[in-house]
Amino acid sequence: MSFKTPVSVLVVIHTPSLDVLLLERASHPGFWQSVTGSLEGNERPTQAAVREVAEETGIACSPTDLHDWRLSNRFEIFPQWRARYAEGVTHNTEHVFGLCVPEQPISIAPDEHLAWRWLPWRDAAAACFSWTNRDAILMLGLSAAPAAQPRDNPDKDSRE
C-alpha cells in the first residue's frame, strides 16, 4: 500500500470580485473546501498546486498563475483520514496558494467531489469545515476587499 505524504497544498481559487470556489467532498457530503491535495513523489508544492487545480476543477493554470502566499499551516490530521498515512503520522504541513480566475463552470472529479459553487468570500469562509481553509479565505478577503469593492464617485458632491 502506498501512503500519502503528510505535505499538501491548499489553493484558494477566487474571482477578481472575491467570489471563492468551493467543492463538496464526495467522501464527506456537507464538507466544503477549496482545492487541496498531497504532494506526490518529488513534487514541489507549486507543481502539486497546478496538478490539483487541473484534477479537481478542470482549470488549466501554470506556476506563474499561482500566487504563493508563503504561508504554511501545520495541523493534526482528522482521525477518519489517518489510515491514508504511514503509521504514527498525525500531522500535515499545508502550503497555501491563491489563483485568481474569471467565474466559470467547473469540471469536478466525481470520485472526489459531489458539487461546486462560487460564493462571496465571507460566505465561503463560513462554509468551510477546515480552519486553515476558513482562515485563508478570510485573509484573502480582508487583504483585498477594499480594492474589490466599488469606490465612491469622486465627481459627486459629498454635500448632496
pLDDT tens digit sequence for 106-154: 999 899 999 999 999 999 999 999 999 999 999 999 987 555 444 343 3
* Of the options 3.40.630.30, 3.40.605.10, 3.90.79.10, 3.40.640.10, the CATH number for the domain spanning 7-147: 3.90.79.10
Q: Which of 119, 129, 103, 111 is nearest to 56 (CA)?
A: 111
Exposure letters 17-38 (e unless 16+ CB within 10 A, then b): ebbbbbbbbeeeeebbbbbbbb
Higher pLDDT, 146 or 102: 102
> What band does 155 get if pLDDT is binned at 50, 70 and 90?
very low
| Beta pairing partners, 113 | 25
Counting residues of the chain whose pLDDT is more than 70, the rounded percentage is 89
Q: Distance between CA 102 and CA 19 in Å, rounded?
A: 9
- Going by the DSSP 8-state scheme, the letter that residue 16 receives in this structure is T
Q: What is the mean pLDDT of residues 88-93?
A: 95
Q: Distance between CA 78 and CA 62 in Å, rounded?
A: 31
Higher pLDDT, 1 or 8: 8
Q: Distance between CA 148 and CA 11 in Å, rounded?
A: 20
Task: List the grid coordinates of 83.
Answer: 489510515
Residue boundaries of the structural domains of the chain:
7-147
pLDDT surpassing 90 at residue 157: no
Is there a contact between 129 and 33 (Cβ–Cβ < 8 Å)? yes
pLDDT tens digit sequence for 59-90: 999 999 999 999 999 999 989 889 999 999 99
pLDDT surpassing 70 at residue 159: no
Counting Cα atoms < 13 Å in the Cβ hemisphere of 151 gives 6
pLDDT at position 1 is 67
Q: Distance between CA 90 and CA 2 in Å, rounded?
A: 17
pLDDT tens digit sequence for 27-56: 889 999 999 999 999 999 999 999 999 999
